[in-house]
Structure 1
Amino acid sequence: MATKIYSYFSFLLIFLLHIHSSISSPLKTYIIHMNPHSKPPSFFTHHDYYSSTLLSLSSSSSSQTHSPSILYTYSSSYPGFAASLTPEQADELRSSSGDVVGVYDDMVYQLHTTRTPQFLGLDVPGEGLSAGDHIDGSDVIVGVFDTGISPESDSFSDVGMPPVPRRWKGKCDSGIKCNKKLIGAATFSHGFTAAEGNAADDFTPRDVDGHGTHTASTAAGAHVTNASLLGYASGTARGMAPRARIAAYKVCFKTGCFGSDILAGIDQAIRDGVDVLSLSLGGGSAPYFTDTIAIGAFTAVEKGIFVSCSAGNSGPTKASLANTAPWIMTVGAGTLDRDFPAFAVTGNGHKFTGVSLYSGPGMRGKHEPTGLVYGTKGNGSSNLCLPGSLDPARVRGKVVVCDRGVNARVEKGEVVKEAGGVGMILANTAESGEELVADAHLIPAVAVGMKAGNVIREYARNTGKRATAVLSFGGTVLNVRPSPVVAAFSSRGPNLLTPQIMKPDVIGPGVNILAAWSQEDGPTGLEKDTRKTKFNILSGTSMSCPHISGLAALLKAAHPEWSPSAIKSALMTTAYNHDNMQAPLRDATDGSLSNPWAHGAGHVNPHKAMSPGLVYDLSTNDYIAFLCSLQYNPLHLQTVTKMRNITCKHKLSDPGQLNYPSFSVLFGKTRVVRYTRELTNVGSPRTLYQARANAPPNVGVKVRPSKLYFRNVGEKKKYTVTFAEKKGTNPPASKSAFGSVLWFSKKNQVRSPVSFMWNEIL
């Protein structure tokens, strides 16, 4: 499963690949977009019509081996179907009648808690946010798209749960026993099997990987006492919305998550009646009309379903985001105020602090120095501890320094162990900087940052056979300062697909997160890891995404009348931009100050999001006007919106005119950018708000009007903000800068981040 192929960040990197035909069969999977109104009355169902369309292909009867077949017929999320076709058959469909709008290759996407409830202020069991709030949430259904679920986990106990909402239309596939907590479990694997043939996998909703169980319990897991990973992070575990229902949609398998399966899952989830969709997976930055997740999410949001997606784990590289559609909540990752310290002391007396989740026996005597080696074969592969790269004659009985990168962090420890090593120091390189991510290694191992790693590497080189080290482990430490810190792996802006829309939207807890785990797999995901644990600690935007999904479920329960965009706005405009030392948020890459391309509007604050005062609301028509501003042709617009005749009469003059809770200002062709926004009062009546703007020295900002008085709840008022380059000034050397627009009253602060870009910056 995906957990067994941990790459750079050991928890499933995000990237986009095209599926290639196998040598044995030329059939490939395609998603066919049909005109939603084209079905002749002679066909009883769309499935019958689509089947007839395939049978009419001139190439369909040339070989039974290559006969086209329908994998899915979509009805809620997409007007069309997925089918196995030869490239020739796909080309014939493309050139057929006007009923076929488009034929697209299937794409494969990759999968991108005890302390987090307290860290977020969700600290009173059974009371929602805090005493007095009394948010039940049992009528809210969270759909989790992942590797399935482990129903036996205590996190999915239905003790004390009321009956399942009558509106629920979902079911449980074979192999899973549902209850009043886990109310649905379904598998969508036709795209996977069409691409991979008879590849061995589990096609029930059961989670043999662990990732899906982890994300589902993070979003809405029940309270579980005495939870821990091998003694680390012990306490009571719970999801963000512990009373919400869970529906698991298994769409991810060994080689990834196929677009045709994801779309079929979203199609079903909409019909089932979910309220929140949580997708800890994604691909590259593709146009919205070719992005399966964006297409499915559009229909979900249109139906009132909140959609939360991970931003990706390709940071700190700029413009590395996934899931950038404005109707999606794009979530980055930050740290908790909890750590798992571990220590390496070298023979020259220097002590280095790192992290580790190692829980086995020590190397020898507790404080006995052990030989230290680095680069046993004098090449890069041995420095990286790639499989087969270490010289057992030099490694046996020693601690090995391994550079981070290329292969999984936990795999490096396995390589050291197989070569006879007794311990490992995992040293960051420039790519990962000072970020520390803990792992449950199979041997004593300490992960250290780049600066410490450079010193240790130099010591090992210069001291040779006399180099030694002692490794020790400090358990669990709370109230770490500073926190939160933006994770170095969290993908960054700017949003190259639509630069006028700032992404990510927010960050949430995503580093060293404890949540439920499948008993089918060890905590490292390695084949030789036979340990079993009910909980595991993982890191990634895969972990931060379900935190926001669960918080959205709480907001939905407290404010059932709010739209998905109102919930998103509440989470964004109330987010904070300081750590627990009251200093600006910092970046784990190098300790420098973070910015909205890394943390979006900031770190979510559930308490304030419950009462944001004002929200930036959006409707389906607003998103259509946005798409029209992108110069998409009618067929592309139909692909995303499923609507037949879009005239674009209400096209936005600029994509940045979308009523979004943040601003992205592009200078270069113009020195003045003017945007209009509309605020809706969801707070108190008879409230006065005043505007305050913050911008770099070379940019002037005017907000008109500068005061807004709301007499009634639900009242809407517009304002215009003008951003202008000051005459005689030059853009900053970095070609980018940041600011904010704030509306404040006696009770509320409604803050929107602003990014400024000058010409090309990448």
Structure 2
Amino acid sequence: MDFYSQMVFSTIFLCFLLLQVQANASNLQTYMIQLHPQGLTSSVFESKLQWHLSFLEQTLSVEEDCSSRLLYSYSNAMEGFAAQLSETELEYLKKLPDVVAVRADRKYEIQTTYSHKFLGLSVCTQGVCYKSSMGQGAIVGVLDTGVWPESPSFGDSKMPPIPQKWRGGCQEGQDFNSSSCNRKLIGAKFFIKGHHVASSPPSDTVQEYVSPRDSHGHGTHTSSTAAGASVAGASVFGNGAGVAQGMAPGAHIAVYKVCWFSGCYSSDIVAAMDSAIRDGVDILSLSLGGFPLPFFDDSIAIGSFRAMQHGISVICAAGNNGPTQSSVANVAPWITTIGAGTLDRTFPAIVRLSNGEAIPGESMYPGNKFNQATKELELVYLTGGQMGSELCLKGSLPREQVEGKMVVCDRGVNGRSEKGQIVKESGGAAMILANTEINLEEDLVDVHVLPATLIGFAEANRLKAYINTTTDPKARIQFGGTVIGRTRAPSVAQFSSRGPSPTNPSTLKPDVIAPGVNIIAAWPQNLAPTGLLEDSRRSNFTVMSGTSMSCPHVSGIAALIHSAHPKWTPAAIKSAIMTTADVTDRFGKPILDGNKPASVFAMGAGHVNPTRAIDPGLVYDIKPYDYVIHLCVLGYTHSEIFIITHMNVSCHKVLQMNKGFTLNYPSMSVVFKHGTTSKMVSRRLTNVGSPNSVYEVEVTAPEGVSVRVKPRRLVFKHVNESLSYKVWFMSEKRREGRKVSSTEGHLTWLHSENSKYRVRSPIVVTWKN
């Protein structure tokens, strides 16, 4: 028997003859083991699976079934596998040849009838007409909680045939079979192994489908936002009535269920990305994430690098940890990172106090119809009694104190709609949700089970003062229906995570913002739009807020661009989205963040403008190897870069051959540190507009910095021609005594004849002592 046969026989023989002894789960954890893709030991095995099993065979005791410990075998998103191991086994496995890195499984959290109109995608603008077929041929892969295939948003009427490049399928499971897919929903798979071993089983009240079917609604909502079909007459119990439509209604959708009742685990996420790359998606949409991590320890960053190499645009949510500075997640430069903005659609529900004062609020209570109001009720705000009464936690509201009254509930701890349910169960007749200092004036709306409204922090303080100083405080809620166009928008959502990136300050993040507040989209028909088990009402649509909602907007827009320009790289698509973004609102005034103009750390390049992004004029393109050089510039080590890219490079040689290299990113983030006062960056623009185009530069320099650009004029003779320019930044004064300070400006290339081509790059300059 030759050496190869001996190795294969040994592995298979041991795996199948080992005793079926179940290991004590409390001693095992899930780890992701990354291997060298050209490992010295790999050549003797017939398949990657056998190679991966061989590591477990060498690690485990003879009483263990090595195949039972293997969760996933990866080959596209990364080379390696996920397995359950004890600490002792892990330490042994780390020392085996070809093991590059080991990461513990990490849990990530999941982070429309009008938004397509708000974004200008329902009319012809600047020669670009939005049609229901837009996005045709593109495949959007959505990693989320699954899908409700019967939703009208996933109907395939007038959809073209499934693209020939598609290699995926429809995985059968609980209440889900192959016929659940069609020409719109062309693929659906679920990944649960990492979740199963990391979590306790759900309670009896949670219906979790072990299949691609959506048990929570989040995935149905995000998928339909990205590429849902056009559905007329959509609303949430009459609120926000209109046509529900995804950003790319002509695109196909492939769903990868990775999020379950207790979260989304990195082992499942990487398995889904691995499958999506193999299946042939064009866009990956991930409305999930955590906190900033070094790229070599971030499974999403590693998997998305491989996706980018395959020509797949990866769009990720920035996170909901705003307005905290440096809270932005998913910051790898090959990812497009999306923050959240508001719409100019409101659902007014004003609190009318008995003294004649009016306190503005918003609500999507089903009774929110123009000029409809509750009767005047006694107001009550319970504090100092049972624990949690001011938050309206379960069991905290004595019936004798709230029955028939309008109850004030502070936000926090439990869900907003859940608070209304608790008020209702306690006999309350109506509710006022009060923002706290954490939420400030954030105006999220919810579907409620009783008349209710949400008021801002300043208004909450005014309301509580009225209650505390009035003998018989009373109020009624006056509803105002759905109102469009009367408020300034977009503005940055309070919850949207902010930059700068703590792990990569040389790249400005988030990249852009998109609609993420009060977004109406598809919803499972077996769930109440409130998400409450006690609520028997049903609707095909509901409202949600978060960067989870802004992310699929841009995923759909990326599909539109890919459909129009199928040969463009992910970097070119990102550049088109960033350089055409708006920095002014619908009234032509600066986009706001609260009551002040938004900074680049809040909105990135600005608010996405899809009609301009489809035809940007110029793009900043980036080759995959450029990211490797960038990692060397950032100071990543040889082994760290190998973990991220699977490329074996010597940074010493790379930097010698690329002196003065700067990543060709559409935004410019310049960091002065250790007393430096000058810096030069280079950029390269590719003409994707018309031949014989001339562009002139316009610069607004950051305060305290002088900026010089050379050349100041770019003359393109041909389409796809690339020209370079350099920018010198010089600090006019040293910022002694400050740990960190930043200023911002912008650089724009203007077409000399066609005013629609304005290629804008935000600039931020930071001083660090």
TM-score by length of 1: 0.92
Q: Tell me if the contact between 1:500 and 1:655 (Cα under 8 Å) persists in the aligned partners.
A: no
For residues 129 and 284 of structure 2, the distance between their equivalents in structure 1, rounded to whole angstroms, comes to: 28
Deviation sequence 1:633-666 (CA, Å, 0-9, x none)? 2222122112345556334989992110001122
For residues 410 and 161 of structure 1, the distance between their equivalents in structure 2, rounded to whole angstroms, comes to: 37
Tell me: CA distance 1:23–1:396, structure 2 relative to 1, closer, same or farther (3 Å): farther
Task: Give SS of 2:384's match.
Answer: coil
2:613 match: 609
For residues 270 and 646 of structure 2, the distance between their equivalents in structure 1, rounded to whole angstroms, comes to: 14
AA aligned opposite 2:301:
A
1:536 and 2:536 are equivalent in the alignment: no
For residues 93 and 584 of structure 1, the distance between their equivalents in structure 2, rounded to whole angstroms, comes to: 56
2:148 match: 150
2:48 match: 46
2:19 match: none
1:122 match: 121
1:31 and 2:67 are equivalent in the alignment: no
Aligned equivalent of 1:527, options 533, 538, 544: 533
Q: Tell me if the contact between 1:128 and 1:134 (Cα under 8 Å) persists in the aligned partners.
A: no
2:74 match: 74
Tell me: CA distance 1:259–1:40, structure 2 relative to 1, closer, same or farther (3 Å): closer
Q: Tell me if the contact between 1:698 and 1:731 (Cα under 8 Å) persists in the aligned partners.
A: no
1:676 and 2:682 are equivalent in the alignment: yes
Tell me: CA distance 1:604–1:271, structure 2 relative to 1, closer, same or farther (3 Å): same
2:16 match: none
Deviation sequence 1:76-120 (CA, Å, 0-9, x none)? 1101000111121111111x2331111110101000001111111
Deviation sequence 1:374-420 (CA, Å, 0-9, x none)? 13435773222223333332222211112222322222222222222
1:576 match: 582
1:353 match: 360
Moved more, 555-564 or 372-381: 372-381
For residues 505 and 89 of structure 1, the distance between their equivalents in structure 2, rounded to whole angstroms, comes to: 42
Moved more, 617-626 or 525-534: 525-534
For residues 558 and 659 of structure 2, the distance between their equivalents in structure 1, rounded to whole angstroms, comes to: 29
Task: Give SS of 1:740's match.
Answer: strand
1:168 match: 166
For residues 237 and 541 of structure 2, the distance between their equivalents in structure 1, rounded to whole angstroms, comes to: 9
1:619 and 2:623 are equivalent in the alignment: yes
AA aligned opposite 1:661:
P
Q: Tell me if the contact between 1:209 and 1:520 (Cα under 8 Å) persists in the aligned partners.
A: no
Tell me: CA distance 1:356–1:70, structure 2 relative to 1, closer, same or farther (3 Å): same
For residues 412 and 24 of structure 2, the distance between their equivalents in structure 1, rounded to whole angstroms, comes to: 32
1:382 and 2:383 are equivalent in the alignment: no
Aligned equivalent of 2:243, options 236, 258, 262: 236
AA aligned opposite 2:159:
M
Q: Tell me if the contact between 1:144 and 1:278 (Cα under 8 Å) persists in the aligned partners.
A: yes
Q: Tell me if the contact between 2:132 and 2:249 (Cα under 8 Å) persists in the aligned partners.
A: no
1:8 match: none
Tell me: CA distance 1:576–1:655, structure 2 relative to 1, closer, same or farther (3 Å): farther
CA shift at 1:594, angstroms?
0.9
Q: Tell me if the contact between 1:629 and 1:655 (Cα under 8 Å) persists in the aligned partners.
A: no
For residues 729 and 368 of structure 2, the distance between their equivalents in structure 1, rounded to whole angstroms, comes to: 61
Aligned equivalent of 2:669, options 631, 656, 664: 664
Moved more, 73-82 or 467-476: 467-476
Q: Tell me if the contact between 1:698 and 1:730 (Cα under 8 Å) persists in the aligned partners.
A: no
1:335 match: 342
1:416-427 mapped onto 2 (5 Å cutoff): 416-427=423-434
Tell me: CA distance 1:717–1:50, structure 2 relative to 1, closer, same or farther (3 Å): same
Structural RMSD (CA): 2.4
Q: Tell me if the contact between 1:731 and 1:758 (Cα under 8 Å) persists in the aligned partners.
A: no
Structure 1: segments with no counterpart, 5+ residues: 1-21
AA aligned opposite 1:547:
H
2:190 match: 187
Q: Tell me if the contact between 2:339 and 2:513 (Cα under 8 Å) persists in the aligned partners.
A: yes
1:107 and 2:106 are equivalent in the alignment: yes
2:58 match: 56
Task: Give SS of 2:628's match.
Answer: helix
Q: Tell me if the contact between 1:481 and 1:581 (Cα under 8 Å) persists in the aligned partners.
A: no
Deviation sequence 1:184-203 (CA, Å, 0-9, x none)? 00011111111125547322
1:561 match: 567
Provide the aligned length of Structure 1 versus Structure 2: 730
CA shift at 1:129, angstroms?
9.0
For residues 351 and 656 of structure 1, the distance between their equivalents in structure 2, rounded to whole angstroms, comes to: 59
Deviation sequence 1:343-369 (CA, Å, 0-9, x none)? 10112111111100111599xx95632
1:87 match: 87
1:385-534 mapped onto 2 (5 Å cutoff): 385-464=392-471, 466-534=472-540
For residues 203 and 591 of structure 1, the distance between their equivalents in structure 2, rounded to whole angstroms, comes to: 46
For residues 594 and 399 of structure 1, the distance between their equivalents in structure 2, rounded to whole angstroms, comes to: 36
Q: Tell me if the contact between 1:50 and 1:81 (Cα under 8 Å) persists in the aligned partners.
A: yes
Task: Give SS of 1:184's match.
Answer: strand
CA shift at 1:722, angstroms?
1.3
Q: Tell me if the contact between 1:629 and 1:654 (Cα under 8 Å) persists in the aligned partners.
A: no
For residues 56 and 232 of structure 2, the distance between their equivalents in structure 1, rounded to whole angstroms, comes to: 55
For residues 379 and 50 of structure 1, the distance between their equivalents in structure 2, rounded to whole angstroms, comes to: 56
Q: Tell me if the contact between 2:381 and 2:408 (Cα under 8 Å) persists in the aligned partners.
A: yes
AA aligned opposite 1:74:
Y
Deviation sequence 1:265-310 (CA, Å, 0-9, x none)? 0000011000000111011111111111111110111110111011
AA aligned opposite 1:677:
R
2:557 match: 551
Tell me: CA distance 1:729–1:540, structure 2 relative to 1, closer, same or farther (3 Å): closer
2:767 match: 758
Tell me: CA distance 1:733–1:582, structure 2 relative to 1, closer, same or farther (3 Å): farther
1:737 and 2:736 are equivalent in the alignment: no
AA aligned opposite 2:121:
L
1:636 and 2:640 are equivalent in the alignment: yes
TM-score by length of 2: 0.91
AA aligned opposite 1:482:
R
CA shift at 1:519, angstroms?
1.5
Moved more, 729-738 or 141-150: 729-738
CA shift at 1:731, angstroms?
9.2
Moved more, 627-636 or 219-228: 627-636
Task: Give SS of 1:142's match.
Answer: strand
Task: Give SS of 1:155's match.
Answer: helix
AA aligned opposite 2:81:
F
AA aligned opposite 1:286:
L
For residues 299 and 655 of structure 1, the distance between their equivalents in structure 2, rounded to whole angstroms, comes to: 26
For residues 45 and 562 of structure 2, the distance between their equivalents in structure 1, rounded to whole angstroms, comes to: 40
CA shift at 1:676, angstroms?
0.9
Tell me: CA distance 1:358–1:128, structure 2 relative to 1, closer, same or farther (3 Å): farther
Identity over aligned residues, as a percent? Answer: 47
For residues 374 and 718 of structure 2, the distance between their equivalents in structure 1, rounded to whole angstroms, comes to: 69
Tell me: CA distance 1:24–1:73, structure 2 relative to 1, closer, same or farther (3 Å): closer
Tell me: CA distance 1:647–1:668, structure 2 relative to 1, closer, same or farther (3 Å): closer
Deviation sequence 1:18-76 (CA, Å, 0-9, x none)? xxxx995211110001111123433111211221221112x433667x99611110011
For residues 420 and 337 of structure 1, the distance between their equivalents in structure 2, rounded to whole angstroms, comes to: 35
For residues 649 and 390 of structure 1, the distance between their equivalents in structure 2, rounded to whole angstroms, comes to: 68
Structure 2: segments with no counterpart, 5+ residues: 1-22
1:693 and 2:699 are equivalent in the alignment: yes
For residues 493 and 386 of structure 2, the distance between their equivalents in structure 1, rounded to whole angstroms, comes to: 30
CA shift at 1:128, angstroms?
13
